[in-house]
Amino acid sequence: MESGVLATAGAELYWQAQGEGPAVVLAHGIGGNHAIWYRQLDALSRSNRVIAFDHRGFGLSRDIDGRGRDAFVDDLTALLDHLGETKVALVGQSMGAGTCIGFAHRAPERVAALAVCDSLHGIEESAGVKALMDAARAKTAAMDQIERVLGAGAARELAVLYRQIASFNAVDRHSLTGKFAARPAADLGGKGFPVLFLCGFDDILFPVEAMRLVQGEVPGSFLVEINDAGHSAFLEQPVQFNDTILSLLQMAGHVGQSGPAHSNAAGYVPVGGAA
């Protein structure tokens, strides 16, 4: 595994890379950092170079000039330039999806595929979507972070680990500065790369009904709903999540010579138990 810290405009950005092949970028949500992807790294790095990084103010990264979200797309651009990656697949979870969507609008020629996971950040809300999201925001505003991000059936030790990982962040949802520029959902279509919307069926922050409406506005996109998962499908149902991302990479022709490592491949977790 490679790792480093990139000094860029007003920030220091921690990154790590694992595996070889076409690059996949994992962009974490507001309660996470690079460590939150521990259930994805092995599966995805079997056929790709997987890059996980800390947004400024999170994990081992520093937000020196305090720009927060305003600088996230600039930071990702600088990081990919530093690592020599000209074309990448983007996997954005919650807040991180806003970063990935912003980058996709800025440099579509550098995007092989885009996965928008449990998120509508960076997307303008139509009237119907806004009504659903306003109700969700009102319902969840006073909830504890764990209640917001994990489904009711998530294991207790997962909640403990989530809190431990989040404890290394300098900012949280109350203190993070800046905002994402929002554009109509339809603007994501027709850019030459596949767009996947992925959501936990029980997500209370970005309800599946809202995700369905937005996905319907993006020409050529598709939607995968994961049962028995809340806002953190990648943690709660990692096999289903990983297989979906691997299928997206295969669809985009963005896999290395070893081929995609789906769950029925030797050495990965078999579906339905041992044969």
Domain count, the chain: 1
Residue 124 falls inside a structural domain: yes
- Among 95, 2, 14, smallest CA distance to 62 is for 14
Residue 265 falls inside a structural domain: no
Residue 258 falls inside a structural domain: no
For residue 48, the surrounding DSSP H or E stretch is none
Query: What contacts 141, CB < 8 A, 6 or more positions away?
Result: none
Task: Look at strands 62-63 and 11-18 and give their pairing.
Answer: antiparallel
Query: What is the structure's pLDDT at 260?
Result: 63
Say which DSSP state 204 is in: S
Residue 272 falls inside a structural domain: no
**Residue 221 maps to which CATH number?**
3.40.50.1820
Residue 208 falls inside a structural domain: yes
Query: What is the structure's pLDDT at 274?
Result: 42
For the chain, residues with pLDDT lower than 50 are 266-275
**Residue 212 to residue 227: CA distance in whole angstroms:** 15
Query: What is the structure's pLDDT at 253?
Result: 94
How many C-beta neighbours within 10 Å does residue 252 have? 18
Query: What is the structure's pLDDT at 264?
Result: 59
Q: Give one DSSP letter per residue of 114-135, joined into a string.
A: EEEES--TTBPPPHHHHHHHHH
Say which DSSP state 123 is in: B
- Phi-psi region for residue 188, left (φ > 0), alpha (ψ -120 to 50) or beta? alpha
Residue pointed to by tokens 């020599």: 84
| Domain extent at residue 134 | 2-251
How far from chain centre, in Å, is Cα 31? 12
Rounded to two decimals, the pTM is: 0.94
Residue 259 falls inside a structural domain: no
| Encoded tokens for 206 | 């970005």
Residue 141 falls inside a structural domain: yes
Residue 262 falls inside a structural domain: no
**Residue 248 to residue 40: CA distance in whole angstroms:** 14
